[in-house]
Amino acid sequence: MKKDIHVVGAVIIRNEKILCAQRGPDKSLPYLWEFPGGKIEVGETPQEALRREIIEEMKCEIEIGEQVEATVYEYDFGIVHLTTYKCKLVKGNPILTEHASIKWLSPKELPLLEWAPADIPAIEKLTAE
């Protein structure tokens, strides 16, 4: 039986552009694009996990807003439960520590990238706004 993996993603918006992060070559789903974030640890709320992950991964701080989407996607390595939130950058600029690349794109440009499947419902919602 596949294990459930509960993760959060940050839809970080600055100047009407959204931060897109490309997974590194050593990660599962190499080179696919995603919203930065990560696993929810035991005892954390989704918002606490997201704040911690962005500090760890991107060396910046965010203000977390409304939920964008909650998605369940079955990969070969497990069942991912991804909840994404709109976020605002409040301190620092994103620094690459785990990702191969980042881009700031308008909502209409998001479909131009090859996204991890669990992120696609959030992309569809953001491009429809």
SS3 at position 114: coil
What pLDDT digit, counting tens, does each position of 20-38 carry?
A: 999 999 988 999 999 999 9
Sketch out the chain's domains with CATH numbers. 4-128 (3.90.79.10)
What pLDDT does residue 17 have? 97
What pLDDT does residue 1 have? 83
pLDDT beyond 90 at 129: no
Quick one: residue 37, left, alpha or beta (phi over 0 = left, psi -120 to 50 = alpha)? left
What pLDDT does residue 16 have? 94
Question: Does residue 10 contact residue 47 with C-beta atoms inside 8 Å?
Answer: no
What pLDDT does residue 45 have? 97
What pLDDT digit, counting tens, does each position of 37-51 carry?
A: 999 999 999 999 999
Instruction: Give the mean model confidence (pLDDT) for residues 107-113.
Output: 97
What is the DSSP code string of 91-103? ES----SSEEEEE
What pLDDT digit, counting tens, does each position of 59-107 carry?
A: 999 999 999 999 999 999 999 999 999 999 999 999 999 999 999 999 9
